[in-house]
Every structure is written in C-alpha cells, then in structure tokens.
Homo-oligomer: A and B are copies of this chain.
C-alpha cells in the first residue's frame, strides 16, 4: 500500500516497535533520576514571547502561536512554543517558588520546538531529558558533582553506544586567561571555541588579532585548550603552564572533583574526561561545563550538555543558582533507530494471541484472555475465526511469540510457542511465559547478530 501522505520534514514519528525503544529509554532515565531523589515535573509547552526571545540566535527559530480566527488587530497570542526545557524551568521556579523546597531537584522529559533546517539529529520537534538542582541565593559546589553523576549513571544504564562526558570549568578558563594577562577574556573564549572548525595556527592568529593576545599568550591559550585526560592529571599539566590565579585554582579544584566523582563507581560504557577546550559558548555558565558525545555518532556533535549557572532565574530580589545537564533523547535515538542499532522486539505488547475457534465461542477465547491478563500477561484475541494456520501467521506478523488454542468443556487448552513449534496443554490460571517474552524488548545490534 503506497503512502498517500508525505512525512513532514523535521517532525519525525516512530512506528510502534521503535516507540517501544523510546518508551524504555524514557522509563530507564526516569528510574535513575528518581533513585537520586529528583522529582518529575512537566511545564506547559508555551511561554510568553518576552521570556523566549532575548535577541539571540535562537529567536528566529521560535514558533509563535495565533488563533486561527483571531481578530485582525490582535493576531498573535503573545505566546511561543518553548525551544528548550531551561527557560520554562526557570519560569516554573519563579512562579512556584513559594510552594517548592530548595535545593529543588527536578527532572523533566518533554518535547521542545525549533524552526530550524532539519538534518540528522536536528528536528523541529525533539524530546529532551533534563536534570537540574536549584538553590536559593547559594548552591554549594558539591551539587555540581551530584547532578553530573546522576546523568552519568542514567546514560550508563541505557542500551546506547558508549558515551563520553567531557568536562571543563569556566572559572578555570577565565582564571587562566586573567592570570595570563589577557585583556579581553570573553573574546578569547569565543575565539578558542572555534578550534573544532579552524586549524590551531589560524585560531592563534585570531587570538592575536581579535582578542588582543600576544603571540606568546596565544600559544599558552592553545596549550591549555589541548589538554584532555581521563583523570585529574590535568591539574599538574595546567600548573606547568606557569599561570597563577585564584579563580584558576578554584576551577582546577572543582574540575578535579567533578572528574573524580563521575569516574567513581565503575561504569559500563561511560567514560569521563577533562577536556579543557569545552566552553559551551558565552552564555550564562559560571563554573562546571560539560558536553556529551556518543561513540560512532561524533557527526551529531554533542548529544547532551550543561553546567553551572549562578543565576538560573531571578525575580529582582532573589536569585536562584542552578546546575544541570540535558540529554537529547530524539537527537541520539532517532539516528540509532534509523541505523538499526536499536529496535523493538515486536510492535505489540501482546505476549499471547488467543485463537478463536468460531465466532460462537469467541466468549471462551475472551475468558482465556481475561484469565491471563488478571495475572499480568498482555494478550489479544484473534480478530477473525480463520483457520488456525492463518491465525498463527497473524501472530507471526506481529511478533507475538505464543498462540493459545482454547479448550472446550472438559478439554484442556493448549499453547504453542510459534518460534519452536512446541505445543503443550496449559491452564490460563497457571501458565506463564518466560520473562523475556512477557513484554517487547529493546534489541541492540550486537544482540541481533
């Protein structure tokens, strides 16, 4: 059957078996976040435009709402769809502060919208998973270690390829530049940020021309930016560069604590690094910063990131500092599903298809199904009383592993494993499928081979 409707670019939709994977990923993330005491919230999807549009690059990607038949003079509602989960969370904290206990740990897994050009890993509607801790006036540094460790644990539990957490610290960068005597620290950060697009000597030249650095200072900046280790040995490497500054020292101590805290505990497929060229742009970050990369999917750039912001939100009297990290659920999953790295084992929840002998005895089949459901076994009753061979093929097409043939009064029913062909007498009040057949599973590429 030909598809009569073209898909809408940038708005990917999952078929039921792929949705099995997405739901399991969301459930797994939620389990980990809750084990660490993070409460779930959802925010409304709209915010007042003046909260969304701050004059930045993102503004032109904001979707604005208007009512279809609104009056001409008042065509916009003044509302737009949120483009991340940080802006609405900051507003939520301000709006509901009187009803929240601080430090407030929250996780939020929702879609966001950006009207950008669609490409692999970049969608106009995409789901993110955010964890943040927010305090009032002050938020002790140990929460940086805590929240990053939560995301490390959460991604380590997912059935995705290995991921790498690459940490840096804005105090370290700023302190180093300041201690080095750079006049324009901001310009230097902006220039160093270009290292993933330009060769090193070109960046060095820009540091001289745009950030007012001497060639020697530019060289030292590059040396700092190339330090990348998976332990705390960066502290000695930075010290060898001979720059002294209090803020630099504070940043070194914090970064070492984050790297040590996140590397502890023996993870399955998460690696942790200090990568001193990570800056995460010029925005609100004031300490810890992180970007997350997925092995084999470096072309997506980061699949997550975050950091510390000393003013997540403010109402003019009270400031709410925060630290958090976001994981791009759609950005990582949709390419993995498209590549067949992940898939769902079947498209339906049913572990059992209860066959129907004829329409007159459909009630008997429904009774078997009810008995199985009462014991937590998902099942469905065949749609038509076709020949059993056809009913078995109906189950096969859906990936349903078992077909139940109801008995008649005095005759026991039988259940067939349609993969092995094995068929045994069975009682719906006691029979149980193997645990791995009970619900659809996430199948990874290696498991398939």
* A44 B101 Cβ-Cβ under 8 A: no
A214 at the binding interface (Cβ < 8 Å): no
* A11 B44 Cβ-Cβ under 8 A: yes
Minimal beta-carbon separation of A101 from chain B (angstroms)? 5
Name the CB-closest residue of B to A116: B67
The number of chain A residues with a CB under 8 A from chain B is: 92
A38 at the binding interface (Cβ < 8 Å): yes
A435 at the binding interface (Cβ < 8 Å): no
Copies in the complex: 2
Report B-chain residues with C-beta under 8 Å of the C-beta of A383. 103, 135, 140, 143
* B34 A362 Cβ-Cβ under 8 A: no
Stretch binding the partner chain, chosen from A166-174, A268-276, A373-381, A411-419: A373-381
A40 at the binding interface (Cβ < 8 Å): yes
Report B-chain residues with C-beta under 8 Å of the C-beta of A378. 34-37
| A142, B369: Cα distance in complex, Å | 15
Instruction: Give A19-43 as 1s and 0s: 1 = Cβ < 8 Å from B's Cβ atoms.
Output: 1100100000000001111111111
* A2 B36 Cβ-Cβ under 8 A: no
Report B-chain residues with C-beta under 8 Å of the C-beta of A16. 39-41, 100, 106
A48, A68, A125 — most chain B CB neighbours (10 Å): A68
Given contacts A5-B94, A13-B95, 12 further A-B pairs with CB under 8 A are A5-B91, A5-B95, A5-B315, A8-B79, A13-B43, A16-B39, A16-B40, A19-B41, A36-B380, A45-B111, A60-B68, A103-B383
**Interchain residue pairs A-B with the least CB separation, the first 6:** A37-B380, A34-B349, A37-B350, A60-B69, A16-B39, A11-B44
